[in-house]
Structure 1
Amino acid sequence: MTISKNVWIIEDDFRVAKIHADYVHNIKGCIVTENLRTGKETIEKLKMTSSLPEIILTDLYIPDVEGSSLVSHIRHLYPSIKIIVISAATEISLIKDIVDLGIFDYLIKPFEEQRLQRAFQKYLQELRLFQNSKNVTQNDLDSLFYSESNNKIVDEETFVKGIDLHTLQIVKSIFEDLKTQELTASQLSELIGSSRSTARRYLEYLVGEQFLQTKLIYGTVGRPERKYVYHGTYEQN
């Protein structure tokens, strides 16, 4: 499974919109299919399109409409669309109103590219859970509703450099769902929307934690392929 391929951006500054689009395109499987500058244009596109976006990135300062009104309109008529607000607005009353509308995430300008990637990873985790599971566990729900920022079990200062707790939980949940299926670093990178080297870092960390085991697959030519499987489901022959 890959991350959403249909992302819209609502931003009246074309330079900012391009930066955000570049960030999105760096996430595997994601394509910005619409760059919109006004509320009117957005509403018309939503009415006409045959393929609704899975995710909309929107500013709150839109020339022809209050951002909160546009968000409310989209949430009311198209509740399946995930809205990520990207704005310089920090007024608590405004943010409270926006959060109450049911937005998926809120990023304050300027923000780091990695922060947007984490938002998309959270979306992927939710998508995987609802599409692949008939029933959920409390741990599944906890991973959706509680991030490491507000429910720290591990002290980040003592955690391994280069390992993000939220991403680590996503990787672990993938293997817990798959159970007996083996994955390579390339396959995992597609699932979590990362580079192959990043995926391998998480895989090797989990091997060290004895959460995963590895096996080498030898082909007719070239180096053997390294695969990873959930601990306890693979026995060495």
Structure 2
Amino acid sequence: MTACRSVWIIEDDFRVANIHADYVHAIGGFRVTESFRTGQEAIKKLNLSSSLPAIILTDLYIPDVEGCSLVRHIRHHYPSIKIIVISAATERGLIKDVLDLGILDYLIKPFEQHRLQQAFKKYLNEQHLFQNSMNITQHDLDSLLYRESTTPEETLAKGIDLHTLQTVKSIFEKAQTQELTASQLSELIGSSRSTARRYLEYLVGEQFLHIKPIYGTIGRPERKYIHHAIYEQNE
């Protein structure tokens, strides 16, 4: 069973904090483990904690917090923590300052539950991308940076499954000297030759793989596929 990722909430209204906690728990895979009414309480806990949260949800209107100072402090001292600001603040300058600090998302109160789900989905997509891919394609970045409101599957071409695609990429990344044909890949992933070729050609289009024609046999030359990084090294 996969452990839930820890989420902290900084919100001076306990009723609002409880609503946000319910939204988080409804997403699945996340658990609110701490809730604070002031910035100083949160900072003290961060200083003493041996286990940092994955995400912090914080308001900007906290009694002992001035503007985005709390967000700035967390980003500076705990850069691994992702921050989602949930605030009624709509001032253009303030929002720009907060966004410039590199927060994960900004939600303006009041907001719909699905909007928080989108923010967490963005977090999961980012984690999946950087934990499972040694090399990032332009398509990967475009899916993350410009299509946060869609699922990864919705950004892929027809007939391309995200899980299978990541499996194919991992095969080449873990054995980068390996050259594979569609037939060889089909045996590794348990698919038909045509399905394996579909994924190989897709990754060629993403510049993740290169085609290496093998001549010497009667008929059309056999196509082998090699990881882009290895192909460039051998050129």
Residue in 2 aligned with 1:66? Answer: 66
Residues 21-60 of structure 1 aligned to structure 2 (within 5 Å)? 21-60=21-60
Residue in 2 aligned with 1:168? Answer: 154
Q: CA deviation at 1:166?
A: 6.1
Moved >3 Å (runs of 4+): 1-4, 164-167, 169-175
Q: CA deviation at 1:116?
A: 0.7
What secondary structure is seen at the aligned counterpart in 1 of 2:130?
Answer: helix
Contact 1:4 1:54 in 2 (8 A): no
Q: CA deviation at 1:180?
A: 10
d(CA) in 1 for partners of 2:59 and 2:139? Answer: 33
Q: CA deviation at 1:178?
A: 2.7
Residues 1-237 of structure 1 aligned to structure 2 (within 5 Å)? 5-147=5-147, 164=150, 168-169=154-155, 172-179=161-168, 232-233=195-196
Residue in 1 aligned with 2:230? Answer: none
Using the aligned pairs only, state the percent identity. 64
d(CA) in 2 for partners of 1:148 and 1:130? Answer: 16
Contact 2:24 2:30 in 1 (8 A): yes
Change (3 A) 1:180 1:233: farther
d(CA) in 2 for partners of 1:148 and 1:82? Answer: 16
In structure 2, the gaps of 5 or more residues are 171-190, 198-235
What secondary structure is seen at the aligned counterpart in 2 of 1:9?
Answer: strand
TM-score by length of 2: 0.67
The structure having more radius of gyration, on CA atoms, is 2
What secondary structure is seen at the aligned counterpart in 2 of 1:135?
Answer: coil
Residue in 2 aligned with 1:203? Answer: none
Change (3 A) 1:13 1:140: same
Residue in 2 aligned with 1:187? Answer: none
What secondary structure is seen at the aligned counterpart in 1 of 2:5?
Answer: coil
Contact 1:3 1:124 in 2 (8 A): no
Supply the RMSD in Å over aligned alpha carbons: 2.8
Contact 2:7 2:30 in 1 (8 A): yes
1:136-164 Cα deviation digits (max 9, x unpaired): 11101111111267xxxxxxxxxxxxxx5
Q: Give the AA of the match of 1:168.
A: E
Contact 2:39 2:64 in 1 (8 A): yes
Q: Give the AA of the match of 2:154.
A: L
Change (3 A) 1:142 1:4: farther
TM-score by length of 1: 0.66
Contact 1:7 1:30 in 2 (8 A): yes
Q: CA deviation at 1:47?
A: 0.4
d(CA) in 2 for partners of 1:40 and 1:172? Answer: 46
Change (3 A) 1:34 1:148: closer
In structure 1, the gaps of 5 or more residues are 150-163, 182-227
Contact 1:90 1:108 in 2 (8 A): yes
Q: CA deviation at 1:66?
A: 1.6
Residue in 2 aligned with 1:214? Answer: none
Residue in 1 aligned with 2:216? Answer: none
